[in-house]
């Protein structure tokens, strides 16, 4: 699996997490089909019938596009969509695909367009290159199964794996911890991994906090790490200065039952720095550029920008529809 494929896969997860949860009013509106309905059905959407002449491209097929959309939108029982046209373009092998989309109970119909690439595995939409296929998140999932080795909790099985990418100095990451606790309670079969993603360009104590976490986990295991993490988030305001960070991190180490002096020494080692760098590399290879982000079996979602009920729908959908771990 090459680096380009990994980054394309991550872009897909991010883009479709956003585009496919946008209000339909943010997309291009198209005229609805003429309706002769009763008053009770007047608010329901109606798609115009596709014209067979609008399907001129050999690839992708209508079924392939539908299956791709189902993999991305299927978590939402109120989302309706129709493949409206798949046409050739002036670029050999590139097809233009138009999708109509609506919500149950709302007669507004909107349109999305993407361009399918000749390789049959990628599309371009909204200025991004995204993976295409019946299971568009499989490459991300395979990468995470191999390299997401941060502290974890829950069962060892990774049939459902939730990987959180977070920065100890990120306020939104602190706010996301109750959401992660809810997910753990609502999905007891989930293998939950914490991957540090210190945003070193904007948070001066992020790398140091992550390095301490690596050492806590190394010396005392996952339960101690999560005690440390909870204490750091509770005292996050103290990370604003070097002196405050020392007090906050030492207090968190003590809360985890360890000696601050030993953890500090460990955090400065080349081995520990390499471990944090590896976590940064994983996030980079996935194309993640914000915290907190959550990978649900490889589908990367900006954790702070999605209602919890929608998040639960997405997780439940992937439990039912993702292929087994190989």
> Are 149 and 111 found together in one domain?
no
Q: Determine, yes or no, domain membership for 129.
A: yes
Q: Determine, yes or no, domain membership for 106.
A: yes
CA 164 – CA 176 distance, rounded (Å) = 10
Q: For 72-85, what is each residue's pLDDT tens digit?
A: 999 999 999 999 99
> Are 126 and 145 found together in one domain?
no
Q: Determine, yes or no, domain membership for 326.
A: no
Q: Determine, yes or no, domain membership for 38.
A: yes
> Are 97 and 153 found together in one domain?
no
> Are 249 and 144 found together in one domain?
yes
Taking the CA atoms of residue 167, residue 203, residue 205 and residue 308 in that order, the dihedral angle to the nearest 10 degrees is -20
pLDDT at 41: 54
Task: Report whether 209 contacts 197 (CB < 8 A).
Answer: no
Tell me the average pLDDT across 168-173. Answer: 98
What is the pTM assigned to this prediction?
A: 0.84
> Are 149 and 127 found together in one domain?
no
Q: Determine, yes or no, domain membership for 4.
A: no
What CATH number did the domain enclosing 312 receive?
A: 3.40.30.10
> Are 160 and 207 found together in one domain?
yes
Q: Is the pLDDT of residue 7 over 60?
A: no
> Are 254 and 314 found together in one domain?
yes
Q: Determine, yes or no, domain membership for 2.
A: no
Q: For 109-165, what is each residue's pLDDT tens digit?
A: 999 999 999 999 889 988 777 879 988 999 999 999 999 999 999 999 999 999 999
Q: In the listed set 136, 151, 178, which residue is the last one of a domain according to the structure? A: 136
Q: In the listed set 91, 114, 136, which residue is the last one of a domain according to the structure? A: 136
Q: In the listed set 136, 166, 197, which residue is the last one of a domain according to the structure? A: 136
Q: Determine, yes or no, domain membership for 103.
A: yes
Tally of domains within the chain = 2
Q: Determine, yes or no, domain membership for 74.
A: yes
Q: Is the pLDDT of residue 21 over 60?
A: no
> Are 177 and 278 found together in one domain?
yes
The side-by-side arrangement of strands in the sheet containing 293-296 is 152-153, 191-196, 161-166, 293-296, 299-302
> Are 148 and 295 found together in one domain?
yes
Q: What is the mean pLDDT of the chain?
A: 88
Tell me the average pLDDT across 271-276. Answer: 98
Q: Write out the DSSP string of 5-21.
A: HHHHHHHHHHHHHHHTT
Q: For 298-309, what is each residue's pLDDT tens digit?
A: 999 988 878 999
| Closest to 256 (Cα-Cα) out of 217, 285, 299 | 217
CA 211 – CA 264 distance, rounded (Å) = 9
> Are 216 and 72 found together in one domain?
no
Q: Which domain holds residue 84?
A: 9-136
> Are 196 and 259 found together in one domain?
yes
> Are 106 and 180 found together in one domain?
no
Q: For 178-194, what is each residue's pLDDT tens digit?
A: 999 999 999 999 999 99
Task: Report whether 164 contacts 198 (CB < 8 A).
Answer: no
Other beta carbons within 10 angstroms of residue 124's beta carbon come to 15
Please indicate whether residue 306 or residue 282 has the higher confidence score (pLDDT). 282
């Amino acid at each position: 699996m090459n680096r380009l494929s990994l980054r394309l896969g991550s872009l897909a997860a991010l883009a479709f997490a956003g585009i496919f949860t946008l209000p339909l009013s943010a997309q291009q509106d198209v005229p609805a089909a003429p309706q002769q309905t009763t008053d009770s059905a007047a608010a329901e959407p109606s798609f115009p019938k596709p014209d067979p002449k609008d399907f001129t491209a050999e690839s992708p097929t209508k079924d392939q596009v539908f299956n791709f959309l189902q993999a991305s939108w299927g978590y939402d029982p109120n989302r309706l969509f129709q493949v409206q046209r798949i046409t050739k373009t002036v670029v050999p092998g590139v097809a233009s695909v138009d999708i109509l989309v609506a919500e149950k109970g709302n007669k507004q119909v909107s349109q999305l367009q993407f361009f399918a690439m000749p390789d049959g595995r990628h599309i371009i939409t909204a200025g991004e290159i995204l993976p295409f296929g019946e299971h568009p998140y499989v490459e991300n999932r395979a990468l995470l199964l191999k390299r997401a080795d941060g502290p974890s909790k829950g069962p060892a099985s990774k049939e459902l794996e939730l990987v959180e990418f977070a920065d100890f100095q990120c306020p939104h990451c602190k706010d996301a911890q109750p959401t992660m606790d809810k997910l753990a309670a609502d999905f007891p079969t989930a293998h939950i991994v914490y991957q540090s993603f210190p945003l070193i360009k904007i948070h001066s104590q992020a790398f140091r906090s992550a390095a301490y976490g690596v050492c806590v986990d190394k010396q005392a295991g996952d339960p101690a790490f999560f005690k440390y993490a909870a204490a750091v988030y509770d005292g996050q305001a103290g990370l604003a200065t070097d002196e405050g960070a020392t007090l906050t991190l030492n207090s968190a180490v003590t809360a985890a039952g360890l000696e601050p002096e030993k953890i500090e020494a460990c955090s400065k080692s080349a081995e520990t720095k390499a471990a944090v760098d590896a976590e940064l590399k994983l996030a980079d290879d996935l194309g993640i550029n914000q915290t907190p982000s959550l990978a649900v079996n490889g589908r990367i979602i900006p954790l702070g920008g999605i209602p919890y009920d929608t998040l639960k729908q997405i997780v439940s959908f992937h439990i039912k529809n993702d292929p087994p771990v190989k």
